[in-house]
Amino acid sequence: MALHIGSILAGRYEITAPIATGGMGEVWQATDRTLGRTVAAKVLKSEYTGDRNFLERFRNEARHTAGLTHANIASVYDYGEIQDDDGRTLAFLVMEYVEGEPLVAILDREITLSPERTLDVLAQAGEGLSAAHRAGVVHRDIKPGNLMVRPDGVVKLTDFGIAWARDAAPLTRTGMVVGTAQYLSPEQAQGFQVTAASDVYSLGVLGYECLAGNRPFDGDSQVAIALAQINRPPPPLPAAVPAPVRALVEKALAKDPAARFADGGAFAEAARRVAAGGPGPETAATTAFIPAVGGGSTQMIGAAGAAAATTGPATAPRAMPPLQGPPVDDQVDSWDDDEPRRRSPWPWVAAAAVVLLVLGAVLAFTLLGGGDDEGSPGTTTTPATTTSAPPTTSAATTTQESSAEQTTEESQEQTTEPEETTQAPPPATTTQAPTTTRTTTTSSSTSSAPTTTAATTTTEPPPAGGETPP
């Protein structure tokens, strides 16, 4: 059933005027003939009612918003599904009619807002999000098109169509990220589980746009924009923006969710404090320039496509800290291979060959008298036993007691029995000087080969006429 002015929806709501038309549905102004009040009726297009995921998402919007009561959230009054004359399902959502215009229309007309007006919008939106976050609901699609502004300045959050609730069943297909790329948080763009801090990031992007007249991250494709959210710092705000306001927005745009405001309430409180002349929050955000192009519609982005487009960022990618980990079914699969690659045995063989070469060189150096006293009599050489261990960092400790030298090699994963080398005491006829001991330790270690330690002990006779050292 195609709605038009004068149509009666579900026998109760009389359609009076069109409000907006989107990709998934239409929004109409209507009159509730039972209660005699003006409402907004959001109707899902018939081609989507046959898709279980779209229909369930529409139902979730009704359930999520119906449980939220706040001055900065557009209320939901009713939800229904009826059959039209052709037997097709018609799903509709009846909500509070907000007289005013979306923030996106204001920005299209005015380009930028003053810092004072921006702080007021951010504070009101943050307070509305606070109510949702306390109820365990994350909006996931905060953007100017989903904020209605009344003539008296009151801001209302709308469109919880892709909101996530902690007690809801997963709806998003595996391998997809749902949201608007220009406002996605880095963790949302990567497919990690969203939190209240994810909405804070999106609200920070909105605040940046209000102050600068453009979004901090844009590109020639949705995937490129999502990657910029993950890897790039935001460009600097205009110099005319006061430092406390700049610090507020930069903190909201931190790549690490733990470095942002914890939720909408904390963001709103900070915005109110700055608006009252207080200091801005501490932040260590950095900036870089990104050219601006592109639109801002809600999309589903494949993670695999994003992964394939990561070549050649203008700045070094910033490593994301550990988040909450990808949830089951609801978000993006890992970009890593399904199975870890097996390690080739050849590095171990090559490492063993290097060890043998080093040991041979040490032995040759010793046997050929590689020192100041070539072929000196009374020399005792004891090669160390080579022990292979897994690739770890080894610490060698040398302890000398009396005339014996003990070398111990310690490993993080494996401990080698101590190796003891005992040298023969000097001849009894030698009285002028004690035996001098020279110990050479050669260690070779790489990240993919075992660590090997070779020890060589050489005893030399004292020089003629030498004195006994203390």
The tens digit of pLDDT for each residue in 355-407 reads 455 555 545 544 454 444 444 444 444 444 444 444 444 343 333 433 334 43
What is the biggest distance separating any 2 CA atoms in the chain, rounded to whole angstroms? 124
pLDDT digits (tens, 9 = 90+) for 315-326: 333 333 433 333
For residue 109, is pLDDT > 70? Answer: yes
For residue 93, is pLDDT > 60? Answer: yes
Closest CA to 74 of 33, 124, 25, 116: 124
pLDDT digits (tens, 9 = 90+) for 275-298: 999 999 987 544 433 333 344 555
Provide the 10 A C-beta neighbour count for residue 453: 22
**Percent over 90 (pLDDT), the chain:** 47
pLDDT digits (tens, 9 = 90+) for 131-178: 999 999 999 999 999 999 999 999 999 998 777 766 554 544 544 567
- The residue from 78, 141, 199, 218 that is catalytic is 141
User: Burial, 311: exposed, middle or buried (Cβ in 10 Å; 0-12, 13-18, 19+)?
Assistant: exposed
- Residue 361: the pLDDT is 55
User: Model confidence at 327, in pLDDT bands (50, 70, 90)?
Assistant: very low
d(Cα 297, Cα 290) in Å, to the nearest integer? Answer: 20
HSE at residue 389, side-chain half, CA atoms within 13 A, is: 23
- Residue 40: the pLDDT is 97
For residue 328, is pLDDT > 50? Answer: no
pLDDT digits (tens, 9 = 90+) for 201-240: 999 999 999 999 999 999 999 999 999 999 999 999 999 9
For residue 423, is pLDDT > 80? Answer: no
Q: Where do the domains of the chain lie, and which CATH numbers do they carry?
A: 8-96 (3.30.200.20), 101-308 (1.10.510.10)
d(Cα 315, Cα 232) in Å, to the nearest integer? Answer: 7
**Percent over 70 (pLDDT), the chain:** 57
Mean pLDDT to the nearest integer, 169-198:
80
- Residue 179: the pLDDT is 83
Helices 196-212, 115-134: inter-axial angle, 10-degree rounding: 170
Q: In the annotation, is 85 catalytic?
A: no
User: Model confidence at 46, in pLDDT bands (50, 70, 90)?
Assistant: confident
HSE at residue 126, side-chain half, CA atoms within 13 A, is: 29
d(Cα 357, Cα 351) in Å, to the nearest integer? Answer: 10
User: Which residues are CB-neighbours of 204 under 8 A, at least 6 positions away?
Assistant: 249, 250, 251, 252, 253, 260
Assign residue 131 a region (left: φ > 0; alpha: ψ between -120 and 50; beta: otherwise): alpha
- Residue 88: the pLDDT is 83
Q: In what order do the strands lie in the sheet with 37-44?
A: 8-9, 13-21, 25-32, 37-44, 89-96, 76-83
- Residue 407: the pLDDT is 39
Which residues of 360-432 form beta strands (DSSP E)? 382-383, 395-401, 404-410, 419-422
DSSP letter, residue 257: G
- Residue 83: the pLDDT is 87
Name the least confident of 75-79, 260-264, 305-309, 366-370. 305-309
User: Burial, 248: exposed, middle or buried (Cβ in 10 Å; 0-12, 13-18, 19+)?
Assistant: buried
d(Cα 114, Cα 118) in Å, to the nearest integer? Answer: 6
Under 8 Å between Cβ of 176 and 223? no
